[in-house]
A = this chain, B = another copy of it.
Amino acid sequence: MQAEIITIGDEILIGQIIDTNSAWIAQQLNSVGIRVKQISSVADYPADILVALTLASGRADLVLVTGGLGPTKDDVTKQTLSAYFDCGLRRAPEVLAHVEAIFQRGNRPMLEINRRQADVLEKSEVLFNEMGTAPGMWVMHKDKPYVIMPGVPFEMKHIMRERVLPRLRNLEGRTPVWHHTLLTGGIGESFLAEKIADIEAALPSHIHLAYLPKPGLVRLRLTAIGEKLEKLKQETQIVADRLKERIGEHFLADEDTSLELLIRDFMKEQELMLSTAESCTGGNIARLITALPGSSSMFEGGAVTYSNAIKRSVLGVKGVTLEQHGAVSEETVREMAVGAKAIFHTHYAIAVSGIAGPDGGTPEKPVGLVWIAVAGKNSVVARKYLFGQDRAINIERSSMAAFWMLWQLLISEKDSK
């Protein structure tokens, strides 16, 4: 069974927002054995929506539509859907009651455009939206299911989880697809490919290998398509084990995870605490760690020390160190790491200082120069990096490099006290 996702909204086509819904929907569909054939984004324009629906219905067995269901009149979606499905709109009483309750709770007067949120396609089943005022709709049209959902991500996710996925699990004709992802670190895509070329060449035709680089890491994704899910799982596991053995020290995890997650789980299990001292990453390392549920069990706190004065007063970096070597130097990041470890009373501390750009570079210390130190149980390691000109990329790469250094120190100090 193949699906197509259609996202509707001028804001996507003029680049004002990034479509994050499609990736999430695709993951969910994959998990129930439905493959996504195409994702199409079109404008809030009736003819474009009609053409997209018509083409999608020819390509796919299931069509999911998001966007264009908000209260204001830039949303032409519902009228267009009414034309496509050749049916009128009805006001759904249970939705109207829900919308009225939301406005009552918020003590806000109700407007006619809010009431119109309760209008649904006559031949649809309502996919009730507890999280907002725009309901989803399930329409069977010429024996094909269409799922219509609002574009607000958390409302769409709620409707998918609670209303759509349970129905999709009952559909016939889903083709089992299994993805098995291995995470590798410290090796480039081409070298990895060379190292495992013979294993890749020997793969049966229903198993496909893809290389997916992300900052500092490369994911290897095995995709198997076949009749029985259990068999696919077994087959990819055998290939994964062979790859793992070959990849050796560069193997990181048997799933598509992140270094932050690996670090959180490892430190939690080993009862180790972490702190951070960030200059050029400006809190990004702390927020990546604290974005993870349960991080409070391994993260004590951190300091964002943007100015030299704060590096001294909060972290205890010596004035003479800053004067002689500067804020972006091995000496300073080492003192920052040691300072953070002491002040926050943790087993490990990460420190980063660099020139993120676009300003602040000099011939000796150009934009992109970053020093990172990690203080551990018994040692402090420091390393210099030279990234590029882009501020956002420098912050991202510095954060990933810091996690990689921490991970390596954690592993090497695993059995030491």
Chain A residues within 8 Å of B, Cβ to Cβ: 10-20, 22-28, 30, 35-44, 48, 52, 55, 70-74, 108, 111, 113-114, 154, 179, 181, 188-191, 193-194, 200, 208-213, 219, 221, 223, 256, 276, 278, 280-287, 289-291, 293-296, 299-307, 309-310, 313-314, 343-345, 357-360, 388, 390-393, 395
Contact = CB atoms under 8 A, between A and B. Distances in A.
A287 B289 contact: no
A26 B154 CA distance: 25
A303 B44 CA distance: 44
A64 to B, nearest CB: 12
Nearest to A188: B108
A313 B345 CA distance: 11
A306 B13 CA distance: 40
A19 B16 contact: no
A402 to B, nearest CB: 13
Nearest to A16: B212
A152 to B, nearest CB: 8
How many copies of the shown chain assemble into the complex?
2
Q: Which of A10, A189, A282: most chain B Cβ within 10 A?
A: A282
A211 B19 contact: no
B357 A293 contact: yes
A303 B306 contact: no
Given A12-B26, A284-B290, A296-B306, 8 more contacts: A15-B30, A16-B256, A22-B41, A40-B41, A72-B211, A111-B191, A276-B304, A280-B290
A24 B15 contact: yes
Contact of A304 (B194, B212, B302): B302
Contacts of A344: 310, 314
Contact of A190 (B71, B306, B307, B357): B71
A22 B15 contact: yes
Instruction: List the 3 closest A-B pairs by CB distance, nearest first.
Output: A282-B290, A283-B286, A283-B283
A399 to B, nearest CB: 9
Nearest to A19: B19
21 contacts: A11-B221, A15-B27, A17-B23, A18-B20, A18-B23, A37-B43, A38-B40, A38-B41, A39-B41, A73-B193, A113-B193, A154-B390, A280-B290, A283-B283, A290-B306, A291-B391, A291-B395, A293-B391, A299-B306, A301-B314, A302-B303
